[in-house]
Chains A and B, each alone.
Chain A
Amino acid sequence: MARMKFLCDAERCIECNACVTACKNENEVPWGINRRRVVTINDGKPGERSISVACMHCSDAPCMAVCPVDCFYQTDDGVVLHSKDLCIGCGYCFYACPFGAPQFPQASNFGSRGKMDKCTFCAGGPEDDNSAAEFQKYGRNRLAEGKLPLCAEMCATKALLAGDGDKVADTYRERVVSRGFGSGAWGWGRAYPGQSGGR
């Protein structure tokens, strides 16, 4: 079974924000929530780098560890998903997540955060695959359709890679070798510690 991973090649990302837009459109993400965002470091200075970041679907995910109602689960593909029916909107996953992935809809009323929303690796949620209920809560389930996350699929510079971790790593390895310098696979050190390949 493949272990799904994201990788953003900072040498290629041009901060076009197409991944952000694609994600919002494909999954009909609520207003005020960005499941994916592009962060630019040293903006306008020498050494400027842009990185597209969303949920990294960590192996030992902090959100899963802190959730008081245990609403998270990890699929066989290593994708970290959650149930909005169980979520109580406490915000703990948001405090714990290193990547700022879990987000809450704009507080509708006092003391209410609503249900948490985050990147699903375009893999939906616990509902039946591609059901209306699943789409309404979590967005498209492209994995069930045999497709990969849209953000990476439509990345114009192929900076954002998504898919089987081994294949992603191979592609990136080739790039590093042909470039002849540094790696800088953003977030991998934190998300998949001690794992050069595989899971």
Chain B
Amino acid sequence: MGHSTCSHTKLTLNFLQSSSWIAGFFLFLITFLVSFTTNIEASSVRPPANAITNALPEKSTSQAKQKTPGGFVPGKTLGNRSQTDLWRVMRRNIKGTVSIPDKKAGVLIQSAGDSWMKFRNNDLYKYSSWTILGMIGTLLLYYLLRGTIRIERGMSNVTIQRFSKFERTGHWLNAGAFIILAITGLNMLYGRYLLKPLLGDELFATIAGTGKYLHDFVAFAFVIGIVWIFIAWVRDNLFSKDDIGWIAKAGGLLSKGSHPPSRKFNFGEKIVFWITILGGVAISITGLALLLPFQIQLLPGELGIHNMQFAQTWHTIIGIIMIVVVLAHIYLGTIGMEGSFQNMKTGQADRNWALEQHSLWLEEVEKSEEKQGTTDARQPAE
């Protein structure tokens, strides 16, 4: 029938071309009527009897009664589906369909948000407070009991190069970025309770907003710093059997005059290094997942909101661990030990300090310097 309509249209066009518009009009009328009747015939919404459809074959009523589908509500009720079953699965992240572009919005109710909130607001808040305060308390107590660890032989005023400019630049890039990230990060967890009552809503929100942007962008400096110090120091931070002696004497931290020998880095410094590197990598990946929402898959399965919650949770946990470790690192690098800060400030270590803290390294350096010295001595003669 569609075929005949088509040929009529062609004829109509021919008549239009010969400008015989009256005949054309009649032909148009005929075409219109033909197509109209065609439409009436085709206008039934039912498929033709021989059409292939995906409709289920109709069951006889006796069959339907024998096999009641799951959730059938017996008795004279108007519904035939169990409401409870439907609403129960709602709480299990079932995904429906939505006609808006964001298909993730098909999740009606995500109960994982409750767990995330409870962890962040209760457990994380509580335990990270205790951990940070515990570390500060321990360091304070240690300082009161032990005081600054002095160089027993006193300053020799002879210095040895411990860190090159390359090493120091990497360290301070990483350290500077870390301090900014740590402060702005802690503000996200504690600012609302500690700073907001002091500063007021507006000022605090401005500071927190600036802090968030700082956190987002300084993060890249931190990532560069992590790669930098890894390249600079990974060889000196591989664990060796010299570390056993250091562990046995607890690094000499607990007794005066105890100085277990170590190379360029002692066991404690190696631990700080590896926590910084491994933690740094983990915090960078989770941080990137937070920066680029729904772009980086951390968990198997569908890339949904649980990925973001997972990233946020571990980003914070790792951050707190790193802050606690770095607090101890800063303590020993500054007021905790005489002569340690100048290592990273100028790159020069006092010889007596090196003799007590890194005796094996001092030996190595002096041996190679002796060799260097002989060559140096020859140089001016030329």
Q: Residues of A with Cβ closer than 8 Å to B?
A: 15, 17, 20, 32, 34, 37-43, 46-47, 49, 51, 53, 62, 65-71, 83, 85-92, 94-100, 107, 110-113, 179-184, 186-187, 189-190
Contacts and interface: CB of A to CB of B under 8 A. Distances in A.
Given A68-B192, A90-B212, A111-B217, A40 B97 contact: yes
A86 B87 contact: no
B116 A96 contact: yes
B98 A37 contact: yes
B39 to A, nearest CB: 27
A168 to B, nearest CB: 18
Contacts of B362: none
B80 to A, nearest CB: 9
27 contacts: A15-B99, A20-B100, A39-B96, A39-B106, A39-B108, A40-B97, A42-B86, A62-B113, A66-B121, A67-B192, A69-B192, A88-B209, A91-B308, A95-B113, A96-B114, A98-B109, A98-B111, A98-B114, A100-B107, A100-B305, A110-B291, A179-B79, A180-B77, A180-B78, A183-B83, A184-B86, A186-B108
B216 interface: yes
A61 B130 CA distance: 27
A98 B213 CA distance: 27
Interface residues of B, number: 59
A184 B105 contact: no
Contacts, number: 149
Contact of B312 (A43, A49, A95): A95
Classify the interface of chain A: helix, strand, loop or mixed.
Answer: loop
Contacts of A66: 117, 120-121
Contacts of A89: 209, 212
Given A69-B204, A98-B109, A98-B111, A47 B86 contact: yes
B94 A88 contact: no
B98 to A, nearest CB: 5
B208 interface: yes
Contacts of B78: 179-181
A85 B309 CA distance: 25
A38 B99 contact: yes
Given A88-B209, A179-B79, A182-B83, A111 B291 contact: yes
A80 B196 CA distance: 21
Contacts of A91: 290, 293, 308
B188 interface: yes
B96 A41 contact: yes
A32 B58 CA distance: 44
Interface of B: 69, 71, 73, 77-79, 81-84, 86-87, 90-91, 94, 96-102, 104-111, 113-114, 116-117, 120-121, 187-189, 191-192, 196, 201-202, 204-205, 208-209, 212-213, 216-217, 290-291, 293, 305, 308-309, 312
Contact of B205 (A41, A85, A181, A184): A85
A41 B121 CA distance: 32
B294 to A, nearest CB: 11
A194 to B, nearest CB: 15
A39 B105 contact: yes
Nearest to B308: A95
A110 B288 CA distance: 11
Given A95-B117, A110-B216, 6 more contacts: A70-B192, A83-B201, A85-B205, A86-B201, A181-B73, A181-B77
Given A43-B96, A95-B305, A95-B312, A186 B192 contact: no
Contact of A111 (B105, B114, B120, B216): B216
Contacts of B191: 68-69
Nearest to B94: A41
Contacts of B82: 182
Nearest to A71: B205
Contact of A98 (B71, B83, B110, B212): B110
A57 to B, nearest CB: 15
Contacts of B217: 111
Contacts of B309: 95
